[in-house]
Amino acid sequence: MTRSIAYHASPLLASKTPVWRSKFIVAALGLAFVGLGARAAYVQVVGNEFFQRQGEVRFARTLELPANRGRVLDRNGLILASSVAAQSIWAIPEDVDKTHPRLADAAKLLDIKLADLKKRLSDEDKTFVWVKRQVDEPVAKEVEALGIKGIYLRKDYKRQYPEGEAAAHVVGFTNVEDVGQEGVELAFNKQLSGTPGSRRVIKDRLGRVIEDVRDAIPPQDGPDLQLSIDSKVQFFAHQKLTEAVRAHKAKAGSVVVMDVVSGEVLALANYPSYNPNRREHLSGEQLRNRALTDTFEPGSTMKPFVAALALEHKLVRPDTVIQTAPGRLTIGGSTISDAHPNGALTVNEVIQKSSNVGTVKMAMQFQPREMWEMFHDIGMGQKPDVPFPGAVSGRLRAHKSWRPIEQATMSYGYGLSASLYQLAQAYTIFARDGELIVPTLVRQPEQAHGQRVFSEKNALAVRHMLHLATSKGGTAPKAQTMGYSVGGKTGTAHKQEGKGYADKKYRSFFVGLAPVEQPRVVVAVMIDEPSNGQYYGGLVAAPVFSETVQQTLRILGVPPDMSVKPQIVVEAVEESF
C-alpha cells in the first residue's frame, strides 16, 4: 500500500531564510554586471586602440605593391639593366607544420638546407618571415604545388644585367630589396626606384584575403635612365683591356673613352671585373672601379701640360732648342736622368722623345705658384664632377711647401697623383683647342661647353707634339691605328712601396686623342704591374689605345683621315719615366 507524503508539511520549508543571504546574491549579481559593463567600456573606449591594434596584428596586413625599377639604357637605347618578374617565398611560421613530409622537397627546390629552413620558420615573428627572395617563376610554382600550409608566394622583381662583366663597374647592382649598391644603380638609386604602392587587407588564418580595408595605392614605376655609355665601345674596350692584362701578366687595368664633342663618357672599363648577375663570391679587388677610385703618379703624361704652360708664358716656342746633354741634371743633391741621352732637342722633340731633363729645364723657369695653378686648372687635386661612389680627388700639395726638386719631379709626373678618369678629362684640353670640359655619364647629345685653360694656338702646338710622340722616332709608334691619325703621350711610373719606390713594379699608361686634326675621342689606358718582360707605356698600354680608338671611331661613324694601311712602325722604343 502506497504511503502518501505531504511535502508541504516538511520542516525545512517551515524554516525562515536569512535576509542577508538574498541581499548578498543580488549584490553579487549586480557587481558582476557592473564589472562586465566596466570591462566593455574599457575595451570599447579606453583601450580601444590597443585591442584594435592587436586584432590588426593577427588578421590585417599591409601588402606592399612594388614599383618596377627604371631601366638603365646605353646611348643607343640598348638595355644595361632591367627588372624582370620573379616570385618571393614567404611564410606564416606559426601555421607551418615543421614536420611536414614535403618540407624537405621545398628546401631542395629553394637550394636551402632543411635545418636552415626550419630555423627561419622558428623565427620570433610568428606572423611573417621571408623564406627566399627573387625565385625564378618555375621554381616558385613547384614550391606552391607542394601545398605546404603557411608558405605563400608574392610577386617581386629581379634585376638583370645583359652586358655582364663588361659594364659591371658602370652599372653596378642592387640588393634583394632592389636598392642600389654599386655604380649607377647606387648613384641614381632614388631616381630609378620609383614609389611603391600599398594595399591594406584583412586575411584569414590560411592567408587568404577576405576584404580590402581601403582603396589600394598604385605604385609609380621608376623612370628609365639613359647613359652616355656605348655598350659596343664598352664591350670592345673591356675585351682588349682583358687581353692586355693577361698577356702582360699584370695585376689590373682600366680604360676610359670620352667623346670630346659632347663630353660624354663612351666607355669606362676595368679588369678584374665581376658578373653582376652572380655575386656569390665577390671580392674588393673585383668591385673597385679603378678608373675612378685608384690614384697614381701620372709620370710622363704631365709633360705636355708643362710644355703648354711654357708656350703660354712665351718662355719657349715649339722650335726652341733645349740642351739635354749629358742626359742628367742635378737639383738640390738629387739627379734627374733621361732613359736615353739625346743632346740638343727642340721643345717638339722633348715631348716626342719624353725627355725628363728638357721638361725640367722648362718647369724650373716658373714660380711654384704658376705650376700649381696650371695643375689645379686641369683638374688635379679636385674630385671629378661625376655622380659615382668612391671617385677620388688625387693629391696636389700646396705650392708653398714645394722644394726645387719637388717642382722638378712634378713636371714629369712624380709628387702628385690622379685617377685615370682625371687624366682623360685633362687631355680634353688638347682635343678641344685649349678648353677643359666636364664629362658626363648621362646621355647628352648637345656639344659640351668648356673652360679655357690654354690658348687655341698653344693647344694646337702641343697637339702636334702629341702626334710626333706616336710617329717614327717617338715613344709610342704602337699607338698608331689604321685609317686614323692619333696623338698622345706615354707614361711609365715606378709604383710607390712603403716610403719609397719599388724597383720592378710599374704602372704603364697612355693617354691620347684621335683624329689629330679634328679630335673626336680621348682614350686613356692604364696597366697596373705588367710583369711579363715589358713595362713601358708605349709597349704595354699604347696597343690597347690603338685598337680601342679604331673600333670607337668606326662605331661613331667618323670617316678615316688617312689612307687605310698599316701604320705601326716596328722599332726600338725610347721612353723616359
If asked whether residues 249 and 211 sit together in one domain, one would say no
Domain co-membership, 326 together with 219: no
In terms of domains, do 69 and 184 share one? Answer: yes
Angle at 116 between CA 111 and CA 120, to 5 degrees: 110
Which of 81, 425, 96 minimizes the C-alpha distance to 226? 81
Residues 297 and 420 in one domain: yes
How much is the pTM?
A: 0.82
Catalytic site residue 300? yes
Give the Cα separation of 261 and 238 in Å (integer).
23
Question: Is the same domain home to 331 and 419?
Answer: yes
* Phi/psi of residue 541, nearest 5 degrees: -90, -35
Q: Within this chain, do residues 184 and 292 fall inside the same structural domain, yes or no?
A: no
Tell me the per-residue pLDDT of 252-272, one tens digit each, with 9 for 90 and over: 999 999 999 999 999 999 999
- Residues 213 and 259 occupy one common structural domain: no
For the ranges 16-25, 135-144, 475-484, 497-506, the maximum mean pLDDT occurs at: 475-484
pLDDT band (50, 70, 90) for residue 55 = low
Give Cα 202 distance to the centre of its chain: 42
Residues 199 and 270 in one domain: no
* Three-state secondary structure string covering 491-547: EEEEEEECCEEEEEEEEEEEEEEECCCCCCEEEEEEEECCCCCCCCHHHHCHHHHHH
Residues 91 and 239 in one domain: no
Question: Same domain for 172 and 313?
Answer: no
Give domain status of residue 54, yes or no: no
pLDDT of residue 58: 58
Q: How many angstroms separate the CA atoms of 358 and 173, rounded?
A: 48
Q: Is residue 51 part of a domain?
A: no
pLDDT tens-place string over residues 384-428: 988 888 899 999 999 999 999 999 999 999 999 999 999 999 999
Q: Which of 185, 206, 226 finishes a domain?
A: 226
Do 270 and 195 share a domain, yes or no? no
Higher pLDDT, 569 or 232: 232
We report the CATH number of the domain holding residue 435 as 3.40.710.10
Count CB-CB contacts under 10 A for residue 176. Answer: 13
pLDDT (average), residues 285-312? 94
Task: Check whether residue 513 and residue 547 sit in a common domain.
Answer: yes
State the virtual CA torsion across 50, 53, 57, 62 in degrees, nearest 10: -160
Listed residue (542, 265, 253, 261) closest to 384, CA to CA: 265
Q: Decide if 1 is inside a domain.
A: no
455, 427, 450, 446: which is closest to 437 by C-alpha?
450
Q: What angle do CA 408, 410, 415 make, to 5 degrees?
A: 120
Residue 19 located in a structural domain: no
pLDDT at 6: 64
- Residue 39's pLDDT is 78
The whole-number average pLDDT for the span 448-464 is 95
pLDDT at 160: 93
11 lies in a domain?
no
Count structural domains, the chain: 2
Per DSSP, the residues of 88-139 read EEEE-GGGS-TT-TTHHHHHHHTT--HHHHHHHTT-S-SS-EEEEEEE-HHH
CA distance 511 to 60: 63
Catalytic residue among 83, 88, 273, 300: 300
* Residue 70 lies inside a defined structural domain of this protein: yes
Domain membership flag for residue 218? yes
Stretch 68-78: mean pLDDT: 94
Number of other residues whose CB lies within 10 A of the CB of residue 557: 7
- Residues 503-528 have pLDDT tens digits of 889 999 999 999 999 999 999 999 99
Cis peptide before 515 (omega within 30 of 0): yes
Q: How far is CA 97 from the centre of its chain?
A: 44
> What tens digit of pLDDT does each residue of 378-396 get?
999 999 988 888 899 999 9
Asked if residue 96 is part of any domain, the answer here is: yes
Distance CA 124, CA 354 (A): 69
d(CA 483, CA 553): 10
Hey, what amino acid is at 117? Answer: L
For 188, the domain range is 62-226
451-483 residues labelled b (16+ CB within 10 A) or e (exposed):
eebbeeebbebbbebbbbbbbeebbbbbbbbeb
CATH at residue 220:
3.90.1310.10
- Residue 449: pLDDT over 70: yes
- 3-state secondary structure (DSSP) of residue 340: coil
